[in-house]
Structure 1
Amino acid sequence: MPNSLPDCPTAPHQLRYAYNTNGASNHRLGDALTLIAEAGYDGVALTLDHHHHDPFAPDFAGRNAQLASQLRELNLGLVIETGARYLLDPRQKHEPTLLAPSATGRARRVEFLIRCLDVCAACEGETVSFWAGVPQPGVEKNQAWDWLLEGAHQVAAAAHERGVVASLEPEPGMLVETVDDYLRLQAAVPSLRLALDTGHLLVTEEREPAAAVREFAAQIGTVALEDMRRGVHEHLPFGEGDMDVPAVLQALRDIRFAGLVCVEMSRESPRAHLMIPQSLAYLRQAERQLPTA
């Protein structure tokens, strides 16, 4: 799906919202999808995990087909998220990454990301979002960057083979931390789109979120939106941090962003049944208050 549309002077551009299942981890996936659809979202940001469509469980193809059918029935679009904490290693959060010192570890991460691309292709999703990882102690930054380039090229090639968009997410504390780091990587792997988490911009304080939306309009593959305090990497419900949500929504309207805007409330699983509808209501109310011209 294209991320921008021709200008239409007669009506404001309608944004499309998704909810990330990492904020509904106490619910069965089917129940979470139903709650998301019933609340009125246009899609789901599905964080593949051991309890939510495990990509390493048996009957992978059959389960992909079943998921695709369920998404069609619920009229939900799809973004695949890859930030599961202990899916690959039960003892180390997020490991192994594309920067793992072990070639076997890096290959494990690439295998996982390719399976994520397979899910996205089977379900006709919009993109797969992934991040670089944190260099292990003792690993030189240049070596880590070389490993990242190797893995990113593999992921990009697999995405191209499947007709899927791969998007790299800058993540505070990781090797690719800022949007400028993303630009450096994209210069070497041109097909990589940007998975722009607007809250992360408040953490790194590299750019104002709305300004970044406009600056990177041509590169954005997906957007994550939540509240966050400046300098603190903690996903918060809307209204509890420093995010200028109306300004971000206005910027997304201005660039006529057509992809899913993904609400990421990763700490809110215990009250997901409340947070799912409340978050969308907040966004719709904020949209209604934006100028119409």
Structure 2
Amino acid sequence: MNNSPHTVLPGKIPQISLGSWAFSFGPFADAPWSFDRFCDYAADAHYDGVEINGFRPHPHDEDFSVSAARALGSAIRDRGLGISGYAPDLTATPPGVAAEAEYLARIDSIARFCVAAGIDLVRVDTITPPPGPGDPAAAYPALVRTWGAAAERLAKDGLRLVWEYEPGFWLNRPSEILRLLDDVASDNFAVMFDTSHSHTIAAYGRRQGPDTEILPDGAPGLARLLAGRVGALHLIDSDGSLHDDETSSHLPFGTGDLDFAAVLAPIRDDVLLLPWWTVDYCFWRETIRDAREAVPVVAAIRDNLVRTKGIEAG
């Protein structure tokens, strides 16, 4: 198995994108920003790109013809922005629960949209809350088959599949994350390492039930376990708490517990090969202010990681 999810040209460093869910979930749910307004904000705040939330009113793949998806991609690029990935709305077809054919039909629709819009990464999750479906032991093999088939279908179109594990979704223990990666066993299937989720899972064991699985050094320990298997990166701070007792709180940089240099050091070789690092504000009321201020912070984290690699190489 190829341990590196992908490679980039020598001398390239990751660009910085912003996820559009920041302005459509949580405190923005009653009056979500239009996707155009979001893209204008991202460009004005000096992001290099955007990551598309596939939940309406933001672009849902089933609402777009091929020509409309091409026009969407062009409109984003005309603002000087790239697209780091697509997070589709698959809530009606939870993997391992929905029929495989039904899930793969959605994957085919997503692939058509992404290819036309110029997107090369698709983000998924298990959707089902912990501890899982009615019979997790029966659903697990179906999940493995479904995601394995989805990864292979997407690979044919040059699209990468990444799984974002979260405390609020089934399979939220370090051992479960590793097991699923091993069982899917596709070169086109990797994890999305979200710094907040990783901290909340590995340092606090949130929503794992009474017998928590905590790593002694938290998120850096989980990063060590996942080295070589990281296909995407979401960055945001965390204090280990949950938002509405569901999933990780996503806090402004500098207001949580995370030492980003320590968290990213074990996966440095993975994340410096990524074309994008995505800033992940979610459920945060002051995103308008704080997402703008995040750009230089993330650039400094990235540039410091590049320097440490250069120092060691020298």
TM-score, structure 2 normalization? 0.75
Rounded Cα–Cα distance in structure 2 between residues aligned with 1:62 and 1:176: 38
Q: Could you tell me which residue of structure 2 aligns to residue 281 of structure 1?
A: 296
Instruction: Check if 1:62 corresponds to 2:67.
Output: yes
Task: Work out the percentage of aligned pairs sharing the same amino acid.
Answer: 21
**Corresponding residue for 1:123?**
117
Aligned to 1:230: 240
Q: Name the SS of the counterpart of 1:56 in structure 2.
A: helix
Once the two structures are superposed, residues 137-156 of structure 1 have per-residue CA deviations (whole angstroms, 9 ceiling, x without a partner) of: 87212111022123213312
Name whichever of 126-135 and 177-186 sits farther off: 177-186
Partner amino acid, structure 2, of 1:55: D
Equivalence for 1:149 = 144
AA paired with 1:266? C
Tell me the distance in 1 between the aligned counterparts of 2:163 and 2:304.
32
User: CA shift at 1:123, angstroms?
Assistant: 3.0
**How many residues get paired?**
274
Gaps of 5+ in 1: 89-93
Contact preservation (8 Å) 2:261, 2:301: yes
Relative to structure 1, the CA distance from residue 249 to residue 181 in structure 2 (aligned partners, 3 Å threshold; closer, same or farther) is: closer
1:11-30 CA deviation, whole Å, 9 max, x = no partner? xx744221111102222112
CA contact (8 A) 1:15 1:253 kept: no
Q: Please, which of 2, 5, 14 is the counterpart of residue 6 of structure 2?
A: 2
Q: CA deviation at 1:48?
A: 0.6
> In the TM superposition, what is the alpha-carbon distance from 1:98 to its structure 2 partner?
1.1
Deviations 1:212-249 (A, max 9, x none): 44553422111111111225321222122212123345
Cross-structure match for 1:198: 195
Write the letter of the residue equivalent to 1:23: A
128-137 or 259-268, larger mean C-alpha shift? 128-137
* Aligned twin of 1:266: 282
Structure 2: tracts of 5 or more residues without a match: 25-31, 203-213, 243-247
The separation in 2 between residues aligned to 1:23 and 1:215, in whole angstroms, is: 29
Correspondence for 1:72 among 74, 77, 97: 77
The answer for the alignment partner of 2:107 in structure 1 is: 113
State the distance in 1 between where 2:42 and 2:153 align: 30
CA pair 250-189 structure 1, distance change in 2 beyond 3 A: closer
TM-score, structure 1 normalization: 0.80
CA contact (8 A) 1:81 1:130 kept: yes
| Equivalent residue, structure 1, for 2:59 | 53
Partner in structure 1 of residue 176 of structure 2:
181
| Contact 2:50–2:81 under 8 Å retained in 1 | no
Distance 1:107 1:237, change over 3 A: farther
Asked whether the 8 Å contact 1:127–1:221 carries over to 2, the reply is no
8 Å Cα contact 1:5/1:258 also seen in 2: no
Give the 3-state SS of the residue equivalent to 1:122 in structure 2. Answer: helix
CA RMSD of aligned residues (A): 3.0
8 Å CA contact retained: 1:99, 1:134: no
